[in-house]
Amino acid sequence: MKVSIIVVNYRVPKLLRACLQSIREQVKAECEVIVTDNASGDGSVEMVREEFPWVHLIANPTNDGFAAGNNIALPHATGEYVFYLNPDAEVIADAVDALVTYLDTHPDVGLVAPRLINTDDSLQKSVHRFYSFWDTLIDNRLFPYLFKNSKRLKSYNYAFWPHDEEREIDWAKGAALMVRKSILDELGAFDEQFWIYGEEIDLCYRIKKAGWKIVFFPNAVIRHHEKQSSRQHSTVMFIQNYKSLYLFIRKHYSRLDFELYRARAVLSILIWLFTFWIKKMSGKKGAAEEFGKYAALFKWHLKLKENLHKPLLINQSAKS
């Protein structure tokens, strides 16, 4: 078997159907497809069984998170490569085959990431550098556009990069990643303490630390209808994003790095709270929702060390 495609689903049956249809229609390489359903309870399991009987389906009785869902599928994978694909993603043309060929012809590359596009075919920026305190001061919503004419910044900051060239990178968004299974067998797959978000950063960090290259390959294109599952718990997932980065920093960096990020995060939260409060008071559409998210995030930070050990979402059964 050349490639095992692993898809973890949570309550997006229509998108999952489109995902599996794209695999069936576009992938020519010898492959197997393994779908883990994380207790969706919405007909997803029945749909896969009826419409895609060739899929190896794992119906979890509880939702133990995205990382765990992928890990449950991995022992069933027999491919030389593992392609992690989100259920809200679709294979475009020969994307999977191109990634397989790339790994076949680049033995020093451990993981390869395709170019992602949005529903409207616009670019979805998906490549990032590993955490550093100074980078967090640059890689945000404001700084790049204040200095958008800086050639030095453009060459360094991925916010300006058009994702149009093959390039060795630190990590890429986990919506679509192909990795050698031998690496997963040696290093371990996703760290389940991340639950969702951050698990791909941690995996890429460990792969690079082991001496492998990670490459962005733009000739392979995947359409990603971003964050369709996580929108069902938008505020919780907003906090989870921060939590996962804290866990990553705590695992791989120093105590000083952790505290510096904590200080930077709290300052940023206070600035955005004030910004969205002003917009809320002026009746700006959507400002109240954003203010509520940052207020919940600030409250979560008040007991940060305690909350890092607590799940944000209690495991859900298929009947919930």
Neighbours of 13 (CB within 10 A): 18
Q: Which helix (H) or strand (E) holds 180?
A: strand 176-180
Domain assignment present for 279: yes
Burial of 273 (C-beta count, 10 Å sphere; 0-12/13-18/19+)? middle
Domain boundary (182, 203, 228) is at: 228
Domain assignment present for 146: no
Same-domain check for residues 190 and 272: no
pLDDT at position 142: 60
pTM higher than 0.75 for the full model? Answer: yes
Domain assignment present for 173: yes
Same-domain check for residues 215 and 247: no
For residue 211, the enclosing domain spans: 3-126+163-228
* CATH classification at residue 201: 3.90.550.10
Same-domain check for residues 79 and 119: yes
Domain boundary (185, 205, 228) is at: 228
Same-domain check for residues 283 and 249: yes
Same-domain check for residues 8 and 72: yes
Tokens encoding 241: 């994003």
Same-domain check for residues 255 and 122: no
User: Rg of the Cα trace of the chain?
Assistant: 20
Same-domain check for residues 238 and 208: no
Per-residue tens of pLDDT for the chain, all 320 residues: 999 999 999 999 999 999 999 999 999 999 999 999 999 999 999 999 999 999 999 999 999 899 999 999 999 999 999 999 999 999 999 999 999 999 999 999 999 999 999 999 999 999 999 998 887 766 665 665 566 666 666 566 777 788 999 999 999 999 999 999 999 999 999 999 998 889 999 999 999 999 999 999 999 999 999 866 555 568 888 999 999 999 999 999 999 999 999 999 999 999 999 999 999 999 999 999 999 999 999 999 999 989 998 887 644 433 33
Domain assignment present for 147: no
Same-domain check for residues 235 and 223: no
Same-domain check for residues 246 and 309: yes
Tokens encoding 162: 């058009």
Same-domain check for residues 190 and 259: no
CA 28 to chain centre: 25
Domain assignment present for 155: no
Domain boundary (180, 207, 228) is at: 228
Same-domain check for residues 243 and 313: yes
Alpha helices in the chain (DSSP H): 13-26, 44-51, 66-73, 95-105, 133-138, 143-146, 151-156, 181-187, 199-209, 234-252, 255-281, 287-301, 304-307
Domain assignment present for 313: yes
Do the bridges between strand 176-180 and strand 109-117 make them parallel or antiparallel, or are there none, so unpaired?
antiparallel
Domain assignment present for 138: no
| Structure letter (DSSP) for residue 251 | H
Phi/psi at 140 (nearest 5 deg)?
A: -150, -175
Number of domains in the chain: 2
Q: Which of 3, 47, 48, 8 is nearest to 26 (CA)?
A: 3
Domain assignment present for 26: yes
Same-domain check for residues 235 and 299: yes
